[in-house]
A = this chain, B = another copy of it.
């Protein structure tokens, strides 16, 4: 068992923040897709908890944390209520939502990697599950909304790469027995800042070479 990255109460508070901002993004997509209030709640819950749920099923941590911590379940409902009553204002503060979402991305890629390693997975698998924790909820959100996952689209700013970098930093630290609150925090901040820079400068990933333009849709 690794030592706790942060004090439990700090870590729990950070995770609630991450869940909250992911839930906001789910509820906002539901509004854009014209769903009713229950569709908003479902999409908020799935976006916020889906990545961690997937990770917990794969590592065999059942019942998943999403079903044992009431705060994890209630937080997306609060986010849904906020979006329901205030969504024009929430849309207006999209920049703030994006910043929080980047914070959630950074946090979840680190905590997801750490939890997978604690359950006995190898370093590469742990980093993969850290990535899945960070981006899985957003993919499920887009699948349920019947859209191409924005994670996969070339015309969106880099999203996976910051999480990959953060998760990789964690497993490198584990490998060299250097994982502690400071290095973990550094991984969170690195992923967070990389995502902010990707949004600021519209960094994008390349598509396959020689792709003929008529293949685009």
Give residues in A with beta carbon < 8 Å to B.
30-40, 42-43, 53, 57-60, 62-64, 67-68, 70, 73, 83-85, 87-88, 119-122, 124-125, 128-129, 139, 143-149, 151-154, 160-161, 204-211, 215-217
Chain B positions within 8 Å of A84 at CB level: 208-209
Cα A145 to Cα B111 in complex, Å, equals 28
* Contact call A39/B210, Cβ cutoff below 8 A: no
Cα A53 to Cα B125 in complex, Å, equals 13
Q: How far is the CB of A75 from chain B (nearest CB, A)?
A: 13
- Closest B residue to A60 by beta carbon equals B62
Given contacts A62-B60, A209-B87, A210-B88, contact A35 B121 (CB under 8 A): no
Cα A212 to Cα B165 in complex, Å, equals 40
* Contact call A215/B32, Cβ cutoff below 8 A: yes
* Contact call B211/A87, Cβ cutoff below 8 A: yes
Cα A190 to Cα B112 in complex, Å, equals 41
Given contacts A62-B58, A62-B60, contact A38 B87 (CB under 8 A): no
From B144, B154, B205, contact of A34 by CB (8 A): B154
Identify the interface centre among A42, A59, A139, A208: most chain B CB within 10 Å of its CB: A208
Cα A152 to Cα B148 in complex, Å, equals 17
